[in-house]
Structure 1
Amino acid sequence: MVGSFILLNCKKNQEKNVIAYLKEISEVKEIQCVSGPYDILVKIQAPTVDELHEIITWKIRKLKNVRSTYTLKINEEATDCKDDNS
């Protein structure tokens, strides 16, 4: 499985509509409302990079109430974070 975090900037007062649509996408694993330049943080997972790209491009970026997105590719899940001084 491959995954990404996507930050979405929505049109004013359209966050609930965007979230409702995102909940219908089976590859969406987590949705969080955030503060700052972006309104929503989404975690998605797919079997392949190509499928992940298709979801981001055609199912998320094309939403009419989404102004912009910023995608962060997950390289690996963090399982044990250690301090440099350990």
Structure 2
Amino acid sequence: MVQAYILIQTTMDRAADVAREIAGLDGVTQAEDVTGPYDVIVRAEAADIDELARMVVARVQKLDGIARTLTCPIVQL
């Protein structure tokens, strides 16, 4: 199991809508709109890094209002 934070910049006034839409995606455990350099922070999980990448590219980045994403896999020691 791989977990990651996905940091998202949205287009103007779309953060709340994007967070709501992303929260409904399979693999997303949490999605919140925030203030700061990113507009939405998502916590997601997948079976492996390849599945996580497919989720981000095929589902998250395709949503209306997404300007940029940064995926940060969680390292567990």
Which TM-score band applies after superposition, normalised by the shorter structure? 0.7 to 0.9
Which residue number in structure 2 is paired with residue 64 of structure 1?
64
The separation in 2 between residues aligned to 1:2 and 1:18, in whole angstroms, is: 23
Q: TM-score, normalised by structure 2?
A: 0.88
Alpha-carbon RMSD across the aligned residues, in angstroms, is 1.4
Q: Please, what TM-score do these two structures have when normalized by structure 1?
A: 0.80
**Structure 1 residue 15: Cα displacement:** 1.5
Question: What residue number does 1:4 align with?
Answer: 4
Q: Equivalent pairs: percent with the same residue?
A: 27
Match of 2:13 in 1: 13
Please list every run of 5 or more consecutive structure 2 residues that lacks an aligned counterpart in the other structure. Answer: none
Between Structure 1 and Structure 2, the one with more helix by share is 2
Larger radius of gyration: 1
* Runs of 4+, deviation exceeding 4 Å: none
